[in-house]
Chains A and B, each alone.
Chain A
Amino acid sequence: MSKWDRLKAVPMPKQPPHVRIRNFDEVALGYNEEQALIESERCLQCVNPQCVLGCPVEIDIPAFIKLLRDGKFREAILKIKEKNNLPAICGRVCPQEDQCQKNCLLGKRGDPVQIGRLERFLADWEREHGVEIPERLPSTCKRVAVIGAGPAGLTVAGDLAKLGHEVVIFESLHEPGGVLTYGIPEFRLPKRIVQAEINYIKKLGVTIKTDTLIGRLYTIPELLKDEGFDAVFIGTGAGPPIFMGISGENLSGIYSANEFLIRVNLMRSYLFPKWDTPIKIGDRVAVIGAGNVAMDAARCAIRLGAKEVHIVYRRSRAEMPARKEEIENAEEESVIFDILTLPVAYYGDERGWVRRMECIRMQLTEPDEIGRRRPVPIPGSNFTMNMDTVIVAIGRRSNPLIQQTTPGLKVNEDGTIVVDENMRTSIEGVYAGGDIVTGEATVISAMGAGRKAAKSIHEYLMRKKY
């Protein structure tokens, strides 16, 4: 290590691009002990730490970094876990650059402290050295049903179990984890990490029932009336994928990002035919959209052997919603960015398989009063590209099943569930949080909502006031 520089972050060791595009192993390898200690030395230990204000679950960041710096790794991870049940996940997928690290004083003159990487280091250290299970409070004999084993549901469940409540999570898929399992690829978030974090939640006393679709097998009124639950938390996440509704979109070879990622991640189709679920990838792949999901899909496509993968995005680079880190990773892996480009139609062959994509060039308007630049088509700029696989990653709507089967549950026009500042819905004892409330957002914001809901549910159960 060269001369120590407080303004320079210790770089994250990564698999080199030419190697990692041939495997699904984790790209970022994580700090070793020495790297973590050097990075932790950079923290200024501010008296008024701004980083904490940027954390949706309010981790005492300076305190855990201080403990880490002093070599007290066990104490440091427990400090994180006071607020966050899933640190190995957050350390990997949180957009720290827009949250805690954005507020770091060092960031004004150099690199902010790499809080996420330190969090990940501690979580990984703990997993290797044995996870301590905190003692639960004595049983309250109250039962809570949590719908959905994603980031929001797992957080609510963990928090409430620690407080002595009996918690059952109902998960519709065959594996818990929600988007952590079916959505985020192995190379960004290894499934063994997700499983370890879920095991921790189970060890806190939480029961997870997979293959259970609430709305069909039980409705929420049934959970409260017949199944003996005192409260319900709805954390069902985002639902059906959005398509553009353009000509040819139902040709074979056009997947929603959801379908593509579910096949690859949840069903392990990158291991086909050892695993049974197939995925078909052509030589030329277009991914429509430029969020994190689009980057994940593009990078999966590269690994599955596509010769050319394009990100097709109607706005410019500056507006791309994906994390900068993920855009860079995609670029390093030779993903091509077609910005200011909008698909208008798809054309297929005689077997109904997509072959060509017609696009139109876009330009951005001058900023309006709120500073937004709208993309508008440039008339007559249509052109076609040959593509044999298309992945549509332009977002998802709200899952409607719970709303349809729960009389009296107030929902917004877009199908999201209405809650107050304490995550209470319009029905007594029923709470909601995560994407089903906010629309598509981040893992950590869902966890923040879960944390808040847990607090509110606990108060309700102990005082029975709504």
Chain B
Amino acid sequence: MYKIVEKREIAPRIKFLKVFVPEIAKKAQPGQFVILRVDERGERFPLTLADWNKEDGTITLVFLEVGVSTRKLGELGKNGVILDILGPLGNPTEVRNYGVVCVVGGGVGIAAAYPIARALKEAGNKVVSIIGARTAELLIFEEEMMRFSDEFYVSTDDGTKGYKGFVSDVLKILIKKGHRFDLIYAVGPAVMMRAVAEVTRPYKVKTVVSLNPIMVDGMGMCGACRVTVGGKTRFACVDGPEFDAHDVDFGELIRRQMAFLSEEKMALECWEANKRSKEA
């Protein structure tokens, strides 16, 4: 049972939670994630850590409400409790001084990119950040990212803020204009990470992505999160979640992410119907 000590809605349907889990806060490293189960009947699902604080013993979770699990989590208020949190899981980001690093965050993935940008900056890198969302009001963690960036770019799909287009378009322009990156780090929706990989592939710039497949146990037991990387099957939970973007079979990842789409839709409809009848 883990208590929520702070809760905010930082954008429409995007929630920010600080949860008291001192053991995880003490051990967490950039790039790691936790597996949550909101209540007794809940699913196990992964969220990348958006932050942690050893002093006050909290971890920060940022998520978009999409299905039953994230809706349930989003309904919990301050002082609410999450039944299970397991972590920190996954291999931490390899943080060292690469030189010039570009951190690309898309959508709710910006929150996951933040601790990585910070760690890379603190390790002495020059950090160029590109963050993007569908529309201006969905942009999150702008100030946080800016604070640890030497250069900072924003894009929105509809042009309501920053460059009109995708983060991958911004990256492409920067590279074409002569920016030289020693490492590109991208986290966000799979289509966005694929687009980033395709932008950097011709330039042979090392590009790392943090993958987000379906997971169940999150510790290497079930293989639900298997992804093909360089022609080999890897488990994102224990072999990743970070992989070389140029080796990842994104098509397979995207198809596997959608494996339970109709069930997820049905579960959400049932949950909403239940909620309505309870409220009535």
Asked whether A280 lies within 8 Å of B263 as measured between CB atoms, the reply is yes
B175 → chain A, closest Cβ, in Å? 32
Binds A, one of B78-86, B162-170, B197-205: B78-86
Is residue A194 within 8 Å, beta carbon to beta carbon, of the partner chain?
Answer: no
Query: In whole angstroms, how far apart are the Cα atoms of A253 and B264 in the complex?
Result: 15
Is residue A329 within 8 Å, beta carbon to beta carbon, of the partner chain?
Answer: no
Is residue A69 within 8 Å, beta carbon to beta carbon, of the partner chain?
Answer: no
Closest residue to B255 on the A side, CB-wise?
A: A352
Is residue A216 within 8 Å, beta carbon to beta carbon, of the partner chain?
Answer: yes
Asked whether A278 lies within 8 Å of B264 as measured between CB atoms, the reply is yes
Do A245 and B223 form a contact, CB below 8 Å, given A267-B216, A268-B41?
no
Is residue B280 within 8 Å, beta carbon to beta carbon, of the partner chain?
Answer: no
Is the interface on chain A under 10, 10 to 19, 20 to 34, or 35 or more residues? 35 or more
User: Which of B86, B226, B252 meets A172, CB within 8 Å?
Assistant: B86
Asked whether A351 lies within 8 Å of B255 as measured between CB atoms, the reply is yes
Asked whether B267 lies within 8 Å of A240 as measured between CB atoms, the reply is no
Is residue B220 within 8 Å, beta carbon to beta carbon, of the partner chain?
Answer: yes
Asked whether A276 lies within 8 Å of B43 as measured between CB atoms, the reply is yes
Q: Which residues of A contact B220 (CB under 8 A)?
A: 239-240, 399-401
B279 → chain A, closest Cβ, in Å? 19
Query: In whole angstroms, how far apart are the Cα atoms of A182 and B37 in the complex?
Result: 15
Is residue A466 within 8 Å, beta carbon to beta carbon, of the partner chain?
Answer: no
B93 → chain A, closest Cβ, in Å? 15
Asked whether A173 lies within 8 Å of B217 as measured between CB atoms, the reply is yes
Query: In whole angstroms, how far apart are the Cα atoms of A280 and B217 in the complex?
Result: 18
Query: In whole angstroms, how far apart are the Cα atoms of A88 and B89 in the complex?
Result: 35
Closest residue to B90 on the A side, CB-wise?
A: A216
Interface residues in A245-280 by Cβ distance below 8 A to B read 245, 249-250, 252-253, 255-256, 258-259, 262-263, 267-268, 272-278, 280
Query: In whole angstroms, how far apart are the Cα atoms of A216 and B87 in the complex?
Result: 7
Is residue A241 within 8 Å, beta carbon to beta carbon, of the partner chain?
Answer: yes
Interface of B is mostly: mixed
User: Which of A174, A272, A280 meets B37, CB within 8 Å?
Assistant: A174
Q: Mark B204-240, 1 if CB is under 8 A from A, else 0.
A: 0000000000001101111110111000010100100
Is residue B56 within 8 Å, beta carbon to beta carbon, of the partner chain?
Answer: no
Closest residue to B23 on the A side, CB-wise?
A: A217
Q: Which residues of A contact B223 (CB under 8 A)?
A: 240-241, 243, 255-256, 258-259
Is residue A210 within 8 Å, beta carbon to beta carbon, of the partner chain?
Answer: yes
Asked whether B222 lies within 8 Å of A258 as measured between CB atoms, the reply is yes
Query: In whole angstroms, how far apart are the Cα atoms of A401 and B260 in the complex?
Result: 29
Query: In whole angstroms, how far apart are the Cα atoms of A217 and B251 in the complex?
Result: 34
Asked whether A250 lies within 8 Å of B263 as measured between CB atoms, the reply is no
Query: In whole angstroms, how far apart are the Cα atoms of A255 and B87 in the complex?
Result: 24
Asked whether A174 lies within 8 Å of B224 as measured between CB atoms, the reply is no
Asked whether A273 lies within 8 Å of B221 as measured between CB atoms, the reply is no
Q: Which residues of A contact B37 (CB under 8 A)?
A: 174
- Size of the B side of the interface (Cβ < 8 Å), in residues, is 44
B240 → chain A, closest Cβ, in Å? 13
User: Which of B69, B83, B258 meets A276, CB within 8 Å?
Assistant: B69
Query: In whole angstroms, how far apart are the Cα atoms of A280 and B224 in the complex?
Result: 13
Interface of A is mostly: loop
Query: In whole angstroms, how far apart are the Cα atoms of A376 and B70 in the complex?
Result: 49
Is residue A213 within 8 Å, beta carbon to beta carbon, of the partner chain?
Answer: yes
Q: Which residues of B contact A258 (CB under 8 A)?
A: 221-223
Is residue B46 within 8 Å, beta carbon to beta carbon, of the partner chain?
Answer: no
Closest residue to A252 on the B side, CB-wise?
A: B259
Asked whether A276 lies within 8 Å of B42 as measured between CB atoms, the reply is yes
Is residue B191 within 8 Å, beta carbon to beta carbon, of the partner chain?
Answer: no
Asked whether A240 lies within 8 Å of B238 as measured between CB atoms, the reply is yes
Is residue B270 within 8 Å, beta carbon to beta carbon, of the partner chain?
Answer: yes
Query: In whole angstroms, how far apart are the Cα atoms of A243 and B69 in the complex?
Result: 29
Q: Which residues of A contact B59 (CB under 8 A)?
A: none
Query: In whole angstroms, how far apart are the Cα atoms of A172 and B217 in the complex?
Result: 9
Q: Interface on B for A, CB 8 Å cutoff?
A: 23-24, 27, 37, 41-44, 68-69, 83-89, 216-217, 219-224, 226-228, 233, 235, 238, 251-252, 255-256, 258-260, 263-264, 266-267, 270-271
| 16 pairs, CB–CB < 8 Å, chain A vs chain B | A211-B86, A217-B24, A240-B220, A243-B223, A250-B227, A252-B256, A262-B217, A263-B216, A268-B41, A273-B266, A277-B43, A278-B263, A280-B259, A280-B263, A352-B256, A353-B259
Sample of 16 more A-B contacts, CB < 8 Å, known A182-B221, A259-B224, A401-B220 = A174-B84, A174-B86, A211-B84, A212-B23, A213-B219, A216-B88, A217-B23, A217-B24, A239-B220, A239-B221, A252-B259, A258-B221, A258-B223, A276-B68, A276-B267, A277-B216
Closest 4 CB pairs of A and B: A352-B255, A278-B263, A259-B222, A252-B259
